[in-house]
Chains A and B, each alone.
Chain A
């Protein structure tokens, strides 16, 4: 299988994402201006500061030509993972519910956190078991997931919360400790923590690999 990893001007985690993908399959960088995603089976939108985070985080990236193709790819059921800035981009693009606001402490956070897998039925968590706790780093300033009351109720009611920060580990004030959500189909998932930074024992945890293994397993079975 082959992963495509998007690169926007201002992306900074695309190489780590590429290396994480390469542990379970082939992977290639897709430039934001490309009209064609190439022959890919899954898409990862990495972290960083796409288009300088101007206006609002993720707001401008969603209009990139490659994002138009990602929207079509996702609509066709293709697995799409958004990490950190990639999560923000997917929320701005309307592929995922909610929005990301500045951390309640207004500080840049960079630390290892415990993240609970709430839903192991998605394209990116099917190699996990619900209740698994993954040790994955966060590093962000704008990671406080928010949804207005009616939307929050709908997201919770339909089981779209995919990851929660473990009890007491919510670093940024996210509503209901939400660390990541999925779309209704479960093929699009976004999260603030960085699984691509937790794939090698050298950095203390390999728990992040499970997300990439999930997509690989799903596609191998297809």
Chain B
């Protein structure tokens, strides 16, 4: 199976990258976008959901400073279109 792990700075933690992006918006004439947070996305193949979650906690994510969610994908969606919500998502 394929999943995307979406990782972003925890709420309340200053995200200088997001701020830098935000500061560029006025020069583009963009006025309706705010609260930019920059994170990262890890796409991977996996077989065992529990093992994937353990991997997130042990390596992909630092739970002190980052939040994450796992989006399970169908193979055809992995390279392009939109994610499917996980049936285990709360």
Chain A residue contacts of B59, Cβ below 8 A: 55, 59-60, 63
Instruction: Choose from A63, A103, A146, A173 the contact partner of B65 (Cβ within 8 Å).
Output: A146
User: Could you mark each residue 40-70 of chain B with 1 if its beta carbon is under 8 Å from any beta carbon of chain A, else 0?
Assistant: 0000000000000000000110101100000
* Binding site secondary structure of chain A: loop
Q: A60, A102, A104, A105 — which one has the most chain B CB atoms within 10 A of its CB?
A: A102
Task: Evaluate contact between B16 and A99: CB separation under 8 angstroms.
Answer: no
Say how far A204's CB is from chain B's closest CB, in angstroms. Answer: 29
B62: min CB distance to chain A, Å: 6
Residue interface mask A138-150, B partner, CB < 8 A = 1: 0000001011100
How many residues on chain B are close to A (CB under 8 Å)?
12
Assembly CA distance A85 to B17 (angstroms): 20
**A146 and B17 within 8 A (CB):** no
B60 and A148: CB pair below 8 A?
no
How many of A's residues come within 8 Å of B, CB to CB? 20
**Interface residue from B13, B16, B60 paired with A106 (Cβ < 8 Å):** B16
CB-contact partner of A99 in B17, B60, B62, under 8 A: B62
- Interface flag for A154 (CB, 8 Å): no
Contact across chains for B62 and A92 when beta carbons are under 8 A apart: yes
Bound: A144/B14 CA distance, A: 10
Task: Tally inter-chain residue pairs, CB-CB below 8 A.
Answer: 34
B17 contacts A59, CB within 8 Å? no
In the complex, the answer to whether B14 meets A98 with C-beta atoms within 8 Å is no
Residue B20 is within 8 A (CB to CB) of chain A in the complex: yes
Shortest beta-carbon distance, A53 to chain B, in Å? Answer: 13
Q: A98-B64, A101-B65 are in contact. Are A146 and B13 (CB under 8 A)?
A: yes
CA distance A173 to B62 in the complex (A): 19
Contact call A99/B14, Cβ cutoff below 8 A: no
Residues of A within 8 A of B9 (CB): 101
Instruction: Report Cα–Cα, A106/B20, bound state, in Å.
Output: 8
Q: Which residues on the A side are within 8 Å of B17 (C-beta)?
A: 102, 106
Q: Are A102 and B16 in contact (CB under 8 A)?
A: yes
A110 contacts across to B, CB distance below 8 A: none
Asked whether A173 lies within 8 Å of B14 as measured between CB atoms, the reply is yes
> Given the complex of chains A and B, what is the CA–CA distance between A106 and B14 in angstroms?
11
A169 contacts the other chain (CB 8 A): no
Q: Mark A74-107, 1 if CB is under 8 A from B, else 0.
A: 0000000000000000001000001101111110
Give A147 to B9 CA distance when docked, in angstroms.
Answer: 13
Enumerate A138-184 residues with CB–CB distance to B below 8 Å: 144, 146-148, 151, 173
What are 17 pairs between A and B in contact, CB < 8 Å? A55-B60, A59-B59, A59-B62, A98-B64, A101-B13, A101-B14, A102-B16, A102-B17, A104-B16, A106-B17, A106-B19, A106-B20, A144-B14, A146-B13, A148-B64, A151-B64, A173-B14
Given contacts A103-B16, A147-B64, 11 further A-B contacts (CB under 8 A): A55-B59, A92-B62, A99-B64, A99-B65, A102-B17, A104-B14, A104-B16, A105-B16, A106-B16, A146-B64, A151-B64
